[in-house]
């Protein structure tokens, strides 16, 4: 049986970066992937000339120049800047929360007027130290924005009321007192021309990849094939869920090809009311300024996760974090195995962070 230096479980972003670095350092690698395609959750496929993001819209953004230079070796990035629109029962607002949002909501013109309005609403709500997402949201942007743009969307996305969610989730979103609709506070942003799958293909160039291969189904056989294992699947699955199951939020996508050029005029439209059953509609062509005669849209429905479903978002509440901490103790004892990525480390990582941690792991191994 052929011996490899590294067996890499998962051909997602973490696995691909690690495999690329290992190969560059002269190591032999075998990548195995249980799906029938590479690229993990950033996988894109082409339909009528449009790159469709199968597992949800992915916008690359980072402040880390090392990471930006790194990905630019494998793809050319376009100038796409994410500027989602919120639709609240037919009222349209700009996101993230900025002067355009405040003006549409209250008619205020200046940053001072907007700040005063928010402060007045925060005081009326009696919040000093925000203890949960609801209080955090009201203290950041006031009650009106909370009620129209946050409460329904968040409850749909997480399947829990804002009062029962941690404050940090909302802190991901910028609040700006400028007329700037750029969703991300990132120096670098864009979409890889030709799709993410092509970018991962370039990372995995000349590296052996076996698709449709579940590591956990034949763990002993694969362990025997390599000196070390990089595992990017769910950490609790690795240990057979022996001390419990970590929770995820899952997403269901309803994708449609439409015989029209332009459905909604923007890549991302969030539906922030309670009643609309989906959280948002993605129109994929707008990520690449597409001019095709047809268009592809995906409605996103947030869903409770059950064993066997695709795990998407780790639910980093106290209960799950403490269970993860126990798994981490077990993981650290597996001398031959490095656990990495969104599932392996049970962390809400964006793509740039995943690259950062994969490069760190590689430099510890080969640096
Ligand atoms: P994954 O992509 O999940 O890769 C893990 C791979 O391991 C998978 O292909 C899986 O099939 C495979 N695997 C698992 N178990 C086994 C096994 N037993 N045997 C073999 N293979 C196995 N980030 C951004 O920066 N910008 C965004 O706009 C953005 N949008 C997102 C939208 C959604 C809906 C979600 C869920 C995430 C988003 N992210 C975004 C985060 C981004 O998807 C992740 O950071 C990135 O995909 C994580 O890469 P990974 O390699 O850790 O995991
Ligand atoms: N959010 C919201 N209304 C919106 C967009 C976001 O209330 O229109 C909240 C919601 O709680 C979400 C969080 O802000 O979970 C973070 O949003 P982001 O777009 O970063 O979520 P992602 O889908 O990337 O995790």
Condensed to tens digits (0 to 9), the pLDDT of residues 270-279 reads 999 999 999 9
Beta bridge partners of 93: 86
pLDDT of residue 320: 96
Residue nearest to atom 2 of ligand 2 (CA): 150
Half-sphere exposure in the Cβ direction for 187 (13 Å, CA): 8
Whose tokens are 């990520």? That residue is 287
Active site residue 252: no
pLDDT category at 1 given cuts 50, 70, 90 is: low
109 SS3 class: coil
pLDDT band at 307 (very low <50, low <70, confident <90, very high): confident
Pairing type for strands 226-231 and 4-9 reads: parallel
- What does the pLDDT look like over 189-218, one tens digit per residue? 999 999 999 999 999 999 999 999 999 999
* pTM for the whole structure: 0.95
Establish whether 299 is a catalytic residue: no
**pLDDT score of 120:** 97
Give, using CA atoms, the residue closest to atom 4 of ligand 1: 12
Residue 168: pLDDT band by 50, 70, 90 thresholds?
confident
The length of the chain is 367
> pLDDT per residue over 81-112, tens digit each?
999 999 999 999 999 999 999 999 999 999 99
Cβ–ligand 2 distance for 19 under 6 Å, the answer no
Q: Which of 4, 93, 135, 176 is catalytic?
A: 176
């Amino acid at each position: 049986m052929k011996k490899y230096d590294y067996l890499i479980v998962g051909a997602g972003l973490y696995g691909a970066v690690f495999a690329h670095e290992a190969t560059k350092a002269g190591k032999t690698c075998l990548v195995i992937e249980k799906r029938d395609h590479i690229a993990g959750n950033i996988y894109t496929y082409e339909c009528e000339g449009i790159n469709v993001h199968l597992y949800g819209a992915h916008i690359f953004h980072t402040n880390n120049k090392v990471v930006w230079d790194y990905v630019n070796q494998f793809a050319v990035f376009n100038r796409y800047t994410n500027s989602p629109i919120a639709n609240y029962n037919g009222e349209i607002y700009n996101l993230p929360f900025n002067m355009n949002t405040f003006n549409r909501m209250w008619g205020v013109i200046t940053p001072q007027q907007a700040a005063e309005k928010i402060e007045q609403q925060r005081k009326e709500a009696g919040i000093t130290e925000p203890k949960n997402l609801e209080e955090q949201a009201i203290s950041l942007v006031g009650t009106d924005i909370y009620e129209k743009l946050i409460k329904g969307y968040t409850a749909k996305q997480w399947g829990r009321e804002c009062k029962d969610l941690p404050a940090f989730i909302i802190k991901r979103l910028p609040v700006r007192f400028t007329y700037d609709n750029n969703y991300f506070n990132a120096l670098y942003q864009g979409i890889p021309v030709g799709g993410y799958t092509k970018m991962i293909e370039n990372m995995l160039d000349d590296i052996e990849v076996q698709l449709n291969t579940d590591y956990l189904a034949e763990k002993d056989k694969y362990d025997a094939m390599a000196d070390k294992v990089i595992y990017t699947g769910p950490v609790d699955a690795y240990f057979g869920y022996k001390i419990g199951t970590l929770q995820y939020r899952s997403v269901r996508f309803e994708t449609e090809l439409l015989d029209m050029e332009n459905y909604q005029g923007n890549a991302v439209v969030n539906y922030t009311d309670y009643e609309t059953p989906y959280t948002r509609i993605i129109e994929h062509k707008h990520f690449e300024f597409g001019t095709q005669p047809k268009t592809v849209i995906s409605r996103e429905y947030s869903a409770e996760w059950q064993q066997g479903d695709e795990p998407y978002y780790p639910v980093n509440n106290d209960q799950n974090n403490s269970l993860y901490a126990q798994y981490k103790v077990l993981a650290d004892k597996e001398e031959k195995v490095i656990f990495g990525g969104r599932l392996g480390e049970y962390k809400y990582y964006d793509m740039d962070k995943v690259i950062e941690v994969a490069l760190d792991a590689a430099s510890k191994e080969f640096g």
